Structure 1
């Protein structure tokens, strides 16, 4: 990982600064956050890193990261150490001088393997770093996307540092990341925006420090993510790691322009496809275990209500072929019955989601990018020829957290008129929200119009319902909107039938009704106001009831 060398060529001077000890597991442990500052060139800092690793490798688990100071005058070498109480006595305490010559030595084989495994342990290391920082009171609480990223800014920054390690870069970059690098380098405007979005500080006080230092670092972190699946954590969940890395850049003036460029989105599409390919392969099952960070651990099973789903408790990976297979797991039979199975007027929820918004009298074209989050049917439905029939109608929107069920179901019985996936943006956000724009819980209305989405049009058998449009929208890391194989124009669907799924991550959906169709919405479908506990609308439960169609009186 190249940060460039400072102007000084002197050997690094180091100073140990150790945080307060903290018990972070059932074992007797102490967490030590050791910071080494250097005014030397990158090569000298690398030597200091290796020397420090040699000193602690035989007795500890650790991860090491580096951050360049804003004025580029030095590097901050951060080493988070987890060791036994006895071994901790060998680590210098705050204010103790640490002579680099005293740390001279090479990393032994076991230590080197731990060092190379540091990236895989980024989340676990960050959790330990967070535990140390809690005791020193250095945390700033901010609200993150619910269930997507840690709600504490310092937790997320610790996670980022767990990935930004010296000497762990893959050579060469994955072809899709290399193509992205060439795109940025080859276009002066994109190169300008890419550098500016890292340099610009969002308006607001939630961003204490810069997470990314260079475009090169950003690309290397993206490259690293292509080879890992998300781990489970009760306190430091980073379920959308691309957002974890990029969200600072998303909410900047240059970032708004960069992530709306079609060429950038084409490159990001290829990157996310490559990651999805890994998540669909057997190597992604490394996190499908009953270990501490595994999705089959007792804590994880409770968090995702795994007992409600189909899985093999006797198999080490739960019977899942891949991470994506786990993510799109199905409910056990009978867990989600179809509401109003014999009543065609009952419209069911196509997804298991939290209600977000209900809008009536929607227009053909409106300012969907405004903070009022108006729906623009022509854009939402990608210019479909049926748009005019929905003008003046109703839109219901709800969002799925990463831990929700991610398959889609037909809201009504009828005939499929159209099923199409519309390419769109991947990390674009509504700039009207400023620094909060990267929070997917506030950009959903905007994303419904510009993000990659699957549009399903069903002509309901019940004439009181008529044509229904369901739009399934992938948000940020999520780009794979997949229709089930039988879902094509002319196909018949019964209410509650499976029609497709989101392949990884959180997402949102909209269902659009023609004017005068909805009599009322279920209580569970009504969005909660601020500070109220949100309601989870179960898939295939009642979403709304259609108004009975009036019949003309008989003559005579």
Structure 2
């Protein structure tokens, strides 16, 4: 058995442990976000939509045979009273503003116009759809293939904007900029000083030389910022963290179909691996171990290999973007929200999303035969419409080598191990702990 690994220092937790970066912690910021979007809405004069939103509306209305618009109307009726967007036309109006802009810091002001607080809104479309997803009609709507096709077209259009030079207009030190004093404090929190750890095209520029929002979002660490801890006496015995992320949970004894993760959430290794037509692959992982963690919009968004090995197979699986399992709101044990708060159902649905959402699946045959095949799953949640893979089948990878990346938004990931792999997770791998990429997660017992 290899020795215990000691993490150099604990990472500082973000303001919200589970919802941090996804939903504003401060109610006044949440309200200010919707006030800004709805201030110019006039139901008597809705105005023309931007092309991508118009195409989305056309796709929803033309799907009368499957009733997508009817499901939308039901979701609005069923949504919690906290929902500020009350009908489909209001939703389209808000989308018009969001998909032609980059995510920003949202500030709230008092009557004198002075800033009282502020938080980054990393996933603005999610805020529009959050409470709709926590309804019975929303559950049906957001899992619908035609709906997700229409939504993907909208997200792809927005993604092109976020890759253009126009989208770097929030990469500044203004009150709503990501490089304001508050913005840098948020980006640095538990991660390190921005200029010290990230590769910046121009560290002296206010925007650090990033030419687009997407370039900023997919930024790289500097060499040495997240070092691999060498283990010369025990090569290949450690499983390393594939993503800079917050621990959701770890579980052993995976079954064919199970419900052990979160209350009321069915879990299926077959669906996770999308192997319904060929269950031989899934069968090899039954009885094994799953580790899952999620990324904040502030986090580093590239994936790294958890082991030394060879890429066996790669799959890109289309799926949902905003689907959630409707629930009764935050439970008593929720670390952030008051019991019954209806917001955040999709965050509470992350275990289920590993089998429902758009995702990239990478199979890695580890050099260590006691590990065997490791599966990395990058799950594109909410605003993420692209899971980009950097490796190729047959290629060799070392611990820390880049596997791929998410493009803008929020996301989660999982590692799956077979039943014969005996893992001992280190003590700091606990739910709601934010962990740096490339640190050891577990050791293999032999």
Could you say which TM-score interval applies, normalised by the shorter chain? 0.7 to 0.9
Note the 1:205-224 alignment, pairs <5 A. Answer: 207-208=81-82, 210-224=83-97
1:44-67, CA deviations, whole angstroms, 9 ceiling, x for partnerless residues?
A: xxxxxxxxxxxxxxxxxxxxxxxx
Check if 1:174 corresponds to 2:47: no
In 2, Cα distance between equivalents of 1:476 and 1:411? 25
Q: Is the 8 A contact 1:250 1:438 kept in 2?
A: no
Structure 1: 5+ residue runs without aligned partners?
Answer: 1-141, 528-533, 549-556
- Which of 203, 225, 231 aligns to 2:98? It is 225
In 1, Cα distance between equivalents of 2:228 and 2:306? 10
Which one is further off, 305-314 or 428-437? 428-437
In 2, Cα distance between equivalents of 1:143 and 1:522? 20
TM-score scaled by structure 2?
0.83
- CA-CA distance at 1:220 after TM superposition: 1.9
What is residue 198 of structure 2 aligned with on the other side? 309
Q: Is the 8 A contact 1:143 1:151 kept in 2?
A: no
| Cα root mean square deviation, aligned | 2.3
1:275-318, CA deviations, whole angstroms, 9 ceiling, x for partnerless residues?
A: 11111110011011122221122332232121321212222421
1:414-435, CA deviations, whole angstroms, 9 ceiling, x for partnerless residues?
A: 1101122111001100124557
Q: 1:395 to 1:144 in 2, by over 3 A?
A: closer
- CA-CA distance at 1:371 after TM superposition: 1.9
- Which of 21, 37, 49 aligns to 1:147? It is 21
- CA-CA distance at 1:346 after TM superposition: 0.8
Check if 1:361 corresponds to 2:246: no
Structure 2: 5+ residue runs without aligned partners?
Answer: 1-15, 107-116, 189-193, 330-340
TM-score scaled by structure 1?
0.67
Q: Is the 8 A contact 1:381 1:387 kept in 2?
A: yes
1:218-251, CA deviations, whole angstroms, 9 ceiling, x for partnerless residues?
A: 1121122111001135623321100111212111
In 2, Cα distance between equivalents of 1:154 and 1:197? 25
Check if 1:184 corresponds to 2:60: yes
In 2, Cα distance between equivalents of 1:386 and 1:154? 49
Greater relative contact order: 1 or 2 (C-alpha under 8 angstroms, separation 6 or more)? 2
**Structure number with larger C-alpha Rg:** 1
Q: Is the 8 A contact 2:105 2:118 kept in 1?
A: no
Which one is further off, 498-507 or 431-440? 431-440
Check if 1:421 corresponds to 2:325: no
Note the 1:63-212 alignment, pairs <5 A. Answer: 145-166=19-40, 172-188=48-64, 189-202=67-80, 207-208=81-82, 210-212=83-85
In 2, Cα distance between equivalents of 1:440 and 1:323? 24
In 2, Cα distance between equivalents of 1:339 and 1:328? 24
Note the 1:5-84 alignment, pairs <5 A. Answer: none
What is residue 493 of structure 1 aligned with on the other side? 397
Which one is further off, 148-157 or 313-322? 148-157
In 1, Cα distance between equivalents of 2:422 and 2:266? 19
Check if 1:402 corresponds to 2:297: yes
What is residue 349 of structure 1 aligned with on the other side? 241
In 2, Cα distance between equivalents of 1:432 and 1:370? 11
Q: Is the 8 A contact 1:425 1:452 kept in 2?
A: yes
- Which of 116, 123, 129 aligns to 1:240? It is 123
What is residue 183 of structure 2 aligned with on the other side? 300
The number of aligned residues is: 394
Q: Is the 8 A contact 1:482 1:501 kept in 2?
A: yes
